[in-house]
Amino acid sequence: MPLWSTVDAQGTLRQTGAPPAESRPFLQATGLLLPPLISELHQSFHAWQVAGLAPGPVTLERLWITPAGGLSVRFADGEHPRALPPVGAHAGLAAWLVLLDKWVETFVVVARARSVWTPGELAGALSFTTPSLLPATLMQTPPDNWEQVAIALARAVAEGPLPGTPTNRHWSK
């Protein structure tokens, strides 16, 4: 039986035998991917790192999202979240950014990521933003965008931390 795993803002792992209420597979929820939701999804993905857990391969068929930006990961029979590998969350973060960039403008993905991860964490992800280190199924999903994500990450790292506190006050549907 598959298992859906979510990490809340306090770093608590929650597992259920069914997807969380209101969640949909990533591909069925791409219409929700507006800038404020990207910020919430980044926070949800970051919660895994804070909890010291790896969500496993970042692939479309495993990710479910809610309209509020909740993220859950579907694990196949017998699989469970594991501790972060020795390289930390960098490989997963690289895949996460490349995946989001397939549906959202690179600027939005990286700008919103800068409000969650430090320049050092983004630099670590940059090291894994290459076809040989990204999940094969992710690389087979068009468009071929890893290079534009790598360039945007490099610029963000060079610019350093964002000044001020990011808000969504300028955003409207």
* Phi, psi dihedral angles at 160 (to 5 degrees): 80, -165
Output DSSP code: residue 162.
P
CB 13 within 8 A of CB 7: yes
Establish how many alpha carbons lie within 13 A of residue 146's alpha carbon, considering only the half-sphere containing its beta carbon: 20
The one-digit pLDDT tens for each residue of the chain (173 residues) are 899 999 998 889 999 999 999 999 999 999 999 999 999 999 999 999 999 999 999 999 999 999 999 999 999 988 999 999 887 899 999 999 999 999 999 999 999 999 999 999 999 999 999 999 999 999 999 999 999 999 999 999 999 987 765 555 555 55
Output DSSP code: residue 148.
H
> How is the chain split into domains, by residue range?
3-159
* Phi, psi dihedral angles at 63 (to 5 degrees): -100, 135
Full-model pTM: 0.93
